[in-house]
Amino acid sequence: MADELRARIRSGALRPGERMPTQAQLAHEFGVERGAVRQALRVLQSERLLTNVSKGSPATVAPDPVGALTGPQAPPLPTTVALAPRIATAFGAEHVEIDAVCLTSISLTLAIGEPLRQIHAGRLKPAKVDVRVLLPSRDIDLAFPVPVEGGADGWVHERWLAMRNAQGQVLQHNLLALRATHGIDVRVTFRALPFTPPVKLYLLNGAEALFAYYTLTRREAEIDHERPAMYDAQGTQSMLFAFRQGAGLRDTTFVEQSHLWFNALWETISSELVLTS
Annotate 238-276 with DSSP letters as a single string: SEEEEEETTS-HHHHHHHHHHHHHHHHHHHTT-EE----
72-272, what's its fold? Endonuclease; Chain A (3.30.870)
Q: Which of 17-31, 36-50, 60-74, 256-270 has the lowest mean pLDDT?
A: 60-74
- Domain ranges in the chain with CATH number 1.10.10.10: 1-66
Q: What's the pLDDT at 66?
A: 60
pLDDT higher than 60, residue 71? no
- Domain ranges in the chain with CATH number 3.30.870.10: 72-272
> Distance (Å, rounded) from C-alpha 258 to C-alpha 260?
5
pLDDT higher than 70, residue 46? yes
Q: What is the mean pLDDT of residues 35-50?
A: 83
Cis before 145 (ω within 30): yes
Cα–Cα distances (Å) from 223 to 38, 82, 84, 219, 220, in that order, read 40, 32, 32, 13, 9
Q: Which of 24-38, 45-59, 244-258 has the lowest mean pLDDT?
A: 45-59
Q: What are the tens digits of pLDDT across the range 239-259?
A: 999 998 888 899 999 999 999
Q: What is the pTM of this model?
A: 0.76
Question: What are 60's strand-pairing partners?
Answer: 19, 51
Specify the CATH number of the domain 1-66: 1.10.10.10
